[in-house]
Chains A and B, each alone.
Chain A
Amino acid sequence: MNKMVKITIDGKTIDAEEGANLLQVARDNGFDIPGLCYYDKVSPTGACRLCLVKIKEQKGLIPSCTVKVSEGLNVTAFDEELEDVRRTIVELLISEHKLGCMTCDTASECALEDLAYRYNVTVDNLPFPVKTKYESIDDSSPVLAYDPNKCIVCGRCVKACYEIQGKGIIDFIGRGIETKIAPDLGVDWKNSACDGCGECIQACPVGALFEIPSVGKARKWEVEKIETICPYCGVGCRIEVEKKDNEIVRINGVDDGPANNGRLCVKGRFGYEYEMSNKRLRTPLIKENGKFREASWDEALTLTARKFSEIKKNYGGNSIAGLSSARCTNEENYIFQKFMRAVIGTNNVDHCARLCHASTVAGLARAFGSGAMTNSIRELEFADCILVTGSNTTETHPVIATYIKNAVLNHGAKLIVADPRKIDLVKYATLWLRQKNGTDVAWLNGIMNVILNENLHDKEFIKNRTEGFDEFRMVVENYTPERVEKITGVPKEKIIEAARIYGTAKNASIVFSMGITQHTTGTDNVLSTANLALLTGNVGKLYSGVNPLRGQNNVQGACDLGALPNVYSGYQKVTDPDIKKKFEEKWKVALDDKVGLSVVEMMNEAHKGNVKAMYIMGENPMVSDPNLNHVEEALKNLDFLVVQDIFLTETAQLADVVFPAYSSFEKSGTFTNTERRIQLLNPVLKAPEGAKEDWEIVQELALKMGYEMQYNNQSDIMEEIADVTPIYGGIHFYRLGKDGLQWPCKDENDPGTLFLHKGKFSRGLGHFSPVDYIPPAELPDKEYPYILSTGRILYHYHTGTMSRKVSVLNEYEPGPYAEISPELAAKLNLKDGEEVRITSRRGAIVTKARITARVAPDSVFIPFHFAEAAANRLTNDALDPIAKIPELKVAACKVEKM
């Protein structure tokens, strides 16, 4: 915080922070100086000229939005002359602005409307005739429309797009009175690179940019606004939902949302239609003779309880397995694993984190003692070097990507991208390493080899804070840039340059995601990133660290709360007798001390007939898991399958009993985002009649199975979590407020932890692991000559259960496709949009070809969201030996033109 100074505004003395924005300070102190171009989230523009003030001893009228507060400023904010100027400016604006207030969705929250009212300006009392001609509206984008007739050319959208979102899609066109805004080269919005995040709409002070899906839904004063957390990804953006009659009208980012500062992506802002879908489940279903029929709750619960009890009695608790959910709340995950462990009597509980970040948890736990992002999301903006690898951040964590772009564009940080695909972030990068898929250990070792050779390592840090350096060093010495170039295909000069950039940065942060983790060497890859951070002392301090980006909204929480086969909540080992005892006492039941089955193992055991029943809460393995044909056989082989979800998913269709659940717009509870921040949900809408909250369903099942469980609400559950989970020890609903809390948060007085391992690693010393390069499990050969890799795209989410029920998202990306390089397309004589059959050793799919240089010549990329051409029919379920994560990022395939 800067020094406090005294200034005077209209005779009143005010204490303000030196350097603060004068207009902001004035407004905060009750001086309602008008101003339309000022937007506190971007650099001041000073162009609307409404905020002009007088400052003693300075010439002329000065735009207060461009003045930094300094000691002794003596400001006149209101006098006759200033108000006269402002009134005239409002008159000019009104004369240029199409007054469509009667049908404008912004009416009553329009900044210009307010000023017209304040200065009593109407079109009828203007001192000159209005001759403005109207231009057509561009409503070609799926989500937003631009009405040039309402545009006041304040430039807030232009700056929001560039300075906040880092995209720069919009700029001014024309000049003088013809000045307007337009995307890209002045094309229709639809044909621009705009990806629909809507940051510009949120920045528009009038109704010139507006949301198409909201048109005609409600007048501003009719809506109720409720804040909650976005239902999609792990960033955990805070959203403000506007609703009318139990329908969502509009969603905005919350400006003081701790992870997002008001930012959102297209899914967060526009992806809510599924919520009101008539496909929502409204009643329990029981399958009879291969067909579902509606059933009462009592009947469905009783049947399920009976079946589970029978199977448990006949084959033992370990013949049942459960999948918890990264889409459900922390409390529900806790209850689910408690149910599996205490009621069923097995540690066979896992969830889809296995498929994304099991190796992160394993690797970082080994290196640092804790398997989460070491830093907070917003710290990324202030790192001076960011190494992004295996993360197509702009599509998978769009809001986190904005901070990375801010670092580059607004603060001059250096970005290194290591990715086989030419992802969007490459545009912002100082350096792009295009490694061959699955060679991550090699290039990381190569960089560390150079760092050691050039003496860029942090000797002090290594000596005081780490162990295992010498052994590690011996391995790394073998990875000369020349050798690494041969393995990875990355020119040695680039390895050297990357080493110098990272090695000399003051604050370097590593960001990774599934491109690193989804390998048979996933744990090794993660260990290598940790090695790099340890080697240069770039961990345990502000702005520098190792930051795995977690996928789903509550995947961090589901892991934290013990929806894993080897740990209880807070990563407390099931094999530790003291821990087991603690939980046995708390839960009043004997517990198993054997590590349970992981996701892929469950499917294998079900396939073999050893697992007889499964309970799946809010997951869709029929799309998300590798080697789907095998998964399908496994699930069909079960004696009894229970699925609990908000829609009848591909997996639910195979179930014997289906329970209808609440969505996250309908309940309270907490999510933990990727930066370890526990945030409170607020129920926004009434759930469909007939559905129940997930935790309630589990509790009723437990009761029916004779286990005492009596929580009144999710807050009750959190009290128990806090009691048994040290890292959540200080978490209580009443403490969460708007900012939530970041774990570790040990007790009532703990403010939470911004970044981990300050002064001391969770495990004591940071541990260097010697890691050698091992090739992927399946490499291209004669029969399957191309590398297949899978991943996510911006417009859809996970298995598409939600996002594919949103028409605007489908408009952007209606269905499956495969990215194919121009080289490969030429070889196959393939045109863009033509159909191809892609085959691996495990299956085949037919999909559309999208020809793009984003993929390397010998590679194919398929988004995994689309069940009708499910990429996972092709993927390899070979596992990382430690983390049991499958190698979703590398498989061999062949491609044929249909």
Chain B
Amino acid sequence: MKNEAKYENKIVLSNVGNIDPTNINDYIETRGYEAAKKIVSNEYTPLNVIDIIKNSGLRGRGGAGFPTGAKWEFTAKEKADKKFIVCNADEGEPGTFKDRLILEGDPHRILEGMIIAGYAVGAQKGFIYIRGEYSTAIERITNAIKDAYEKHYLGNSILGSSFNFDIEIKKGAGSYVCGEETSLIESIEGKRGNPRIKPPYPGQKGLWNYPTVVNNVETIANVAPILLNGADWFKSFGTEKSPGTKIFTLIGNVKNPGVVELPFGITLREIIFGFGGGISNDRKLKAIHLGGASGAVYDGSILDVPLDYDALKEKEGMLGSGAVLVMDEETDMRKYLKNVLEFFKHESCGQCVPCRIGTARLCEMADDIIEKGGKEVNIEYMKHLTDVMFKSSLCPLGQSVIMPVKSIFKYFNNEF
């Protein structure tokens, strides 16, 4: 029995499950495209839109929590012949499937958010980069785009205005690192997904070196509601520094795994034991891997920390994508460590030395821990290596290996 009603505050998921995602009119009936229409018909200047988003305090839901308004403003100020909006629907972070639910359940919400973003920064073209494995989502979005074109919500002079905006889908083909924004840009350009060096940031030089805003699906899904209801309404949810809600995906050894949208400030205890109904098979909680593979792994001591983007900084972790992977007492943390490292090794793009070789050596050392026991392996060196990878890797993939590794060694020291 899920305790959904008690906890949920739906902004992003309000339509999901409640409307027919294949019917544009269903979306329109929930005040769909109203915000976009208002905006592109010049009721708001681009600057107004950016101001509203800035005021709302919306932060990127792709993991890093970067303020969305600031990102848009940055790109809006760039002078260029072309600009692009990219919706990051690559969702490869293990344990995360929130974006898929939005894409499948409320596709027009994404299109509307992108139109608004395009208007705000001066872009006339948007791409939705969806991971190739999400076939249903791809289908839904493809149809939604078709319907939107038919209604002149996309294309030239959309929604009865003089604003032009096109959206195209690009499919990924199986690569986690392509969720990283510069790698994603390379992939849209039809290349290997090797991340680029930053700076320059996509906001200055993104797709084909034109200024490009890359936003996560969930971020974009917040845009239309904010413009309809105002920044203050949005700020009434969540915490001061992280307003609004967050979708959490609760998985692993819990009674009721699933997805839940909750305001920031919620605790893991409420999520796991409230919404999730506690540990399955009535076992004891052992570990929580928070924020996807690249987040930190904690023991029960984290349960009562109110969650937002800044709360975990001192705990050397992150909220990331909002994945909450729960492990019970039976879990072998040495094997778990190895599994996480295998993931990174498999998904490293391979261009920079610390990550390419570092992930491989870490896997081998984790193997040795399993085979020969922790004493045989230079665990201090493993920590040192993740430190070096953190400092020297080219992109956040290699940089983030430090979080799971160090936290596992820290909280589950007795197993090594």
Asked if the two chains touch in their complex, CB atoms less than 8 Å apart, one says yes
Binding site for B on A (CB under 8 A): 45-50, 52, 60-61, 63, 66, 81, 84-85, 88-89, 92-93, 95-96, 127-129, 131, 152-153, 155, 172, 174-179
Chain A interface: which of B94-102, B139-147, B206-214, B349-357? B349-357
Given contacts A47-B352, A95-B357, A175-B192, 17 further A-B contacts (CB under 8 A): A47-B351, A47-B353, A49-B392, A49-B393, A50-B353, A61-B392, A88-B385, A92-B353, A92-B357, A93-B353, A153-B353, A155-B351, A172-B350, A175-B175, A176-B349, A177-B360, A178-B350
Chain A min CB distance to B382 (Å): 8
158-196 of chain B: CB within 8 A of chain A: 175, 192
Contacts of A175 in B (CB 8 A): 175, 192, 348-350
- B391 adjacent to chain A (CB < 8 Å): yes
Of all chain B residues, which has the CB nearest A81? B391
A176 touching B392, Cβ below 8 Å: no
A-B contact pairs, 8 of them (CB 8 A): A88-B385, A96-B357, A96-B360, A127-B378, A128-B361, A172-B192, A176-B360, A177-B348
Q: Is the CB of A92 within 8 A of B358?
A: yes
Q: Which residues of chain A have C-beta atoms less than 8 A from B393's C-beta?
A: 49
A96 proximity list for chain B (CB < 8 A): 357, 360
Docked pose: A127 CA to B364 CA in angstroms? 12
Q: Choose from A92, A155, A172, A177 the contact partner of B354 (Cβ within 8 Å).
A: A92
Quick one: CB contact mask for B342-379 with A, threshold 8 Å, 1 for yes?
A: 00011111111110111111001100100000000110
Contact between A177 and B197, CB atoms less than 8 A apart: no
Contact A179 B361 (CB under 8 A): no
* CB-based contact A85/B352 at 8 Å: no
B350 cross-chain contacts in A, Cβ below 8 A: 153, 172, 174-179
Considering the complex, give the chain B residue whose CB is closest to the CB of A177.
B360
A129 to B371, CA, bound (A): 14
Residues of B within 8 Å of A48, CB to CB, are 352-353
The answer to whether B384 has its CB under 8 Å from any CB of chain A is yes
Among B347, B349, B357, B385, residue most surrounded by chain A Cβ atoms (within 10 Å): B357
Main secondary structure of the interface of B (DSSP, over half): helix
* Residue in chain A with minimal CB distance to B382: A128
Cβ-based interface call for B388 (8 A): yes
B13: interface (CB < 8 Å): no
Q: Could you tell me the distance in whole angstroms from the C-beta of A693 to the nearest C-beta in chain B?
A: 52
A63 in contact with B345 given A127-B381, A131-B364, A176-B350 (CB within 8 Å): no
Q: Which residues of B contact A (CB under 8 A)?
A: 175, 192, 197, 345-354, 356-361, 364-365, 368, 377-378, 381, 384-385, 388, 391-394
Q: Name the A residues within 8 Å of B360 (CB-CB).
A: 96, 176-177
Bound together, the chains give a CA A172 to CA B197 distance in angstroms of 18
Of the residues A152, A153, A176, contact of B346 by C-beta under 8 Å:
A176
- Nearest residue in B to A175 (C-beta to C-beta)? B350
Do B357 and A85 touch across chains, with their CB atoms under 8 A apart?
no
Name the residue on B nearest A93 (C-beta).
B353
Closest 9 CB pairs of A and B: A179-B350, A92-B357, A177-B360, A176-B348, A127-B381, A88-B388, A47-B351, A49-B392, A47-B352
Cα A128 to Cα B362 in complex, Å, equals: 9
For residue B371, give the distance in angstroms from its CB to the closest CB of chain A. Answer: 12
Verify A88–B384 contact, CB threshold 8 A: yes
Task: Output the least CB separation between A799 and chain B (Å).
Answer: 45
Asked if A128 contacts B392 (CB within 8 A), the reply is: no
Contacts of B361 in A (CB 8 A): 92, 95, 128
Known A88-B384, A128-B365, A177-B359; contact A61-B391, beta-carbon cutoff 8 A? yes
The smallest C-beta distance from B59 to any residue of chain A, in angstroms, reads: 19
Residue numbers in A under 8 Å from B357 (CB-CB): 92-93, 95-96, 177
Cβ distance A827 to chain B, nearest Cβ, rounded Å: 41
Contact residue among A47, A93, A127, A129 (Cβ-Cβ distance under 8 Å from B394): A47
CB distance from A48 to the nearest CB of B (A): 5
CB of B345 within 8 A of CB of A176, answer yes
From A63, A127, A155, give the contact of B197 (CB < 8 A): A63
B378:A153 contact, CB within 8 angstroms: no
Residue of A nearest to B352 (CB): A47
Q: Compute how far the CA of A129 lies from the CA of B175 in the bound complex, rounded to whole angstroms.
A: 29
Task: Please give me the residue from chain A that is nearest to B368 by CB atom.
Answer: A129
**Judging by beta carbons under 8 Å apart, are A49 and B345 in contact?**
no
| Chain B residue at minimum C-beta to C-beta distance from A88 | B388
Question: Please, which residues of chain B bring their CB within 8 A of the CB of A81?
Answer: 391
The complex places the Cα of A239 from the Cα of B214 at a distance, in Å, of 49
Which of A49, A85, A178 has most B Cβ within 10 Å?
A49
In the complex with contacts A177-B356, A177-B359, A89-B348 CB distance below 8 A: no
Residue on A nearest B385 in the bound complex, by CB: A88
Given the complex of chains A and B, what is the CA–CA distance between A127 and B350 in angstroms?
A: 22
Residues of A within 8 A of B351 (CB): 45, 47, 153, 155, 172, 179
Closest residue of chain B to A178 (Cβ to Cβ) is B350
With a cutoff of 8 Å between Cβ atoms, the chain B residues found around residue A47 in the complex are 351-353, 394
Task: Given A92-B354, A96-B357, verify A177-B391 contact (CB < 8 Å).
Answer: no
Chain B proximity of A52: nearest CB distance (Å) = 6
Report the bound CA distance from A309 to B296 in whole Å.
98
Tell me whether B364 and A129 are in contact (CB under 8 A).
Answer: yes
In the complex with contacts A60-B391, A177-B356, A128-B346 CB distance below 8 A: no
The reply to whether B364 and A179 form a contact with Cβ atoms under 8 Å apart is no
When C-beta atoms are compared, the residue in chain A nearest to B365 turns out to be A128
- Give the residues in chain B near A61, CB-CB below 8 Å: 391-392
Shortest Cβ distance from A152 into B: residue: B353
In chain A, what residue has the closest Cβ to B192?
A: A172
Using A95-B361, A128-B378, A131-B364 as known contacts, say yes or no to A49 and B384 having CB atoms under 8 A apart: no
Q: How far is the CA of A131 from the CA of B362 in the complex (A)?
A: 12
User: Given A49-B394, A89-B354, A176–B359 Cβ distance below 8 Å?
Assistant: yes
Chain A residue contacts of B391, Cβ below 8 A: 52, 60-61, 81, 85
Query: Which residues of B sit under 8 angstroms from A128, Cβ to Cβ?
Result: 361, 364-365, 377-378, 381
Q: A46-B197, A177-B357 are in contact. Are A89 and B349 (CB under 8 A)?
A: no
Scoring B175, B347, B352, B385 by chain A CB atoms within 10 A of each residue's CB, the highest score goes to: B352
How far, in Å, is B330 (CB) from chain A's closest CB?
Answer: 30
Residue in A85, A93, A152 with the greatest tally of chain B CB atoms within 10 Å: A85
The smallest C-beta distance from A57 to any residue of chain B, in angstroms, reads 13
Instruction: Give, as a whole number of angstroms, the nearest-CB distance from B84 to chain A.
Output: 20
Whole-angstrom CA separation of A677 from B365 in the bound complex = 60
| CB-defined contacts of A95 to chain B, threshold 8 Å | 357, 361
Do A85 and B197 form a contact, CB below 8 Å, given A92-B361, A176-B359? no
Once the chains are docked, how many angstroms separate the CA of A45 from the CA of B351?
Answer: 9
CA–CA, A48 and B392, complex, Å: 9
- Determine the chain A residues whose CB is within 8 A of the CB of B346 once the complex forms: 176
What chain B residues lie within 8 Å of A88 (beta carbons)? Answer: 354, 384-385, 388
Task: Please report the C-alpha to C-alpha distance between residue A46 and residue B351 in the assembled complex, in whole angstroms.
Answer: 9
Give complex CA distance A152, B353 in Å: 8
| Nearest residue, chain B, Cβ from A45 | B351
Q: How far is the CA of A128 from the CA of B365 in the complex (A)?
A: 7
Give the one of B175, B384, B391, B393 with max A CB within 10 A.
Answer: B391
Cα–Cα distance between A178 and B175 once the two chains are bound (Å): 14
Residues of B within 8 A of A174 (CB): 350
- Determine the chain A residues whose CB is within 8 A of the CB of B388 once the complex forms: 84-85, 88-89
**Residue among A45, A131, A175 having the largest count of chain B Cβ atoms under 10 Å:** A175
